[in-house]
Amino acid sequence: MSAGPVAVLITGMGSTTAISVAKALRQQMELPVRLIGTDIHQGWEIAGSTFCDRFHQVPTADDPEYLSTVLGICEQEEIRVLFPIIDAELEVVARGEPRFRERGVLPWIARPETVAACNDKYRTYEFLERNGFPTPRTWLPEQLAGQQDHPGFPLIVKPVDGVSSRDVFYVENELELSAALRKVRSPVVQEYLRGIEYTVDVVTDQESRVLAVVPRERMQVKAGLSYKARTVRQPRLTELAGEIARRLEMRGHCNIQCRIDGEQIRFFEINPRFSGTLPLTVAAGVNSPLILLKLALGIPLERDYFDFEPGVFMARYWEEAFSRPV
């Protein structure tokens, strides 16, 4: 293994989440890193490639060549640590984990069964329900048809494998419900949750021990991304989110979404990956990409790497990147 900076591969560099991971590793001065990025677009098309030392275009995750292409990049670039970002890639990387490890690469990803349960909103509901975690009642359309006691309105209709808040419909009556069910491919129907929305970042090690938990209030959301948010101290939420991560045997960074209405916390989504709002977690003192890099390299971490500061407020703005494709 060559000395010098640690080579890290971040996938999906076109996404806010991948850029957030790259920024977190660029702003720390403790560990020199060489950032390699991938995306399904060409480098010049995406702002994220400007954060990378080198960039590679890859096929989509459902392409049979995807895994071998990423494995090839790992060999070529002498990658030590892989951070998969895009939901569609997570399961493929999780199933390919032994092949990465054979090549000396540590992919920070949960087991394939965990990833599959998180990528399917009905299975997520079943997991939460079965394990006694508070969650909104959720139905598949066929279950709703035979339902004696009607769930009542309002309801949410969303794709079972949805991402980025796409095709999420709020429905108030039968007419709107059937229209939404026609629009959404593979829908789930869920009780509508009132209250304030939170995302909880949870960092776990390879043995799924919980190292850090950072709850954030989502104060303004546009197109599935937090534009304004702040870190909060919320002991009950912290305890429950940590327990969910442990039960799912998470490895690395995951984020857990919920709404709190008065005293009532209800979880509705679990993502076994970094969040798009990672910069706030980092600003509040928990640089999880650095933590995971150090863990992967066997570098000891002091306790204060895991403590966060509550009350840190984030307001976002746009930034441009320019390129001159030939």
Ligand X SMILES: Nc1ncnc2c1ncn2[C@@H]1O[C@H](COP(=O)(O)OP(=O)(O)O)[C@@H](O)[C@H]1O
Considering the rule CB under 5 A, would residue 78 count as an interface residue with Mg ion?
Answer: no
For residue 83, report the phi and psi dihedrals to the nearest 5 degrees. Answer: -110, 100
Contacting residue, 11, 17, 119, 190, with ligand X by CB under 6 A:
190
**Closer Cβ to Mg ion, 205 or 269, answer by number:** 269
Region of 61-69, 80-88, 176-184, 263-271 interacting with Mg ion (CB under 5 A): 263-271
**Least distance to Mg ion, CB of residue 46, Å:** 22
**Closer Cβ to ligand X, 104 or 224, answer by number:** 224
Q: Using CB under 6 A as the criterion, what x/- string covers residues 244-263 for binding ligand X?
A: -------------x-x----
Distance, CA of 261 to CA of 152 (rounded, Å): 18
Considering the rule CB under 6 A, would residue 165 count as an interface residue with ligand X?
Answer: yes
**Least distance to Mg ion, CB of residue 269, Å:** 4
Considering the rule CB under 6 A, would residue 90 count as an interface residue with ligand X?
Answer: no
Distance, CA of 260 to CA of 235 (rounded, Å): 13
**Closer Cβ to ligand X, 228 or 294, answer by number:** 228
**Least distance to ligand X, CB of residue 15, Å:** 13
Contacting residue, 136, 187, 215, 289, with ligand X by CB under 6 A:
136
Neighbours of 177 (CB within 10 A): 21
| DSSP one-letter code for 167 | T
The rounded radius of gyration (Å) of the Cα atoms in the chain is 20
**Least distance to ligand X, CB of residue 221, Å:** 6
Strand order of the β-sheet with 169-171 is 138-139, 187-191, 155-159, 169-171
| DSSP one-letter code for 115 | H
Distance, CA of 164 to CA of 74 (rounded, Å): 28
Instruction: Please answer whether residues 310 and 232 qualify as being in contact, where contact means their C-beta atoms are separated by less than 8 angstroms.
Output: yes
Find the residue with minimal CB distance to ligand X: 193
Region of 96-104, 186-194, 207-215, 292-300 interacting with ligand X (CB under 6 A): 186-194
Task: Please name the residues in contact with 321: beta carbons below 8 A apart, sequence gap of 6 or more.
Answer: 47, 50
Q: Which candidate, 211, 206, 197, 209, places its Cα nearest to that of 287?
A: 211
If phi over 0 gives left and psi between -120 and 50 gives alpha, with beta otherwise, what is residue 170? beta
Contacting residue, 5, 32, 224, 310, with ligand X by CB under 6 A:
224
The SS3 assignment for 236 reads helix
Contacting residue, 88, 116, 168, 225, with ligand X by CB under 6 A:
168
Considering the rule CB under 5 A, would residue 197 count as an interface residue with Mg ion?
Answer: no
Distance, CA of 198 to CA of 83 (rounded, Å): 24
**Least distance to Mg ion, CB of residue 162, Å:** 8
Considering the rule CB under 6 A, would residue 162 count as an interface residue with ligand X?
Answer: yes
Contacting residue, 161, 191, 205, 269, with Mg ion by CB under 5 A:
269
User: Out of ligand X, Mg ion, none, which partner does residue 253 contact, by CB within 5 to 8 A per kind?
Assistant: none
Distance, CA of 226 to CA of 218 (rounded, Å): 6
Q: Which residues bind ligand X (CB under 6 A)?
A: 136, 156, 158, 162-166, 168, 190-193, 197, 224, 257, 259, 268-269
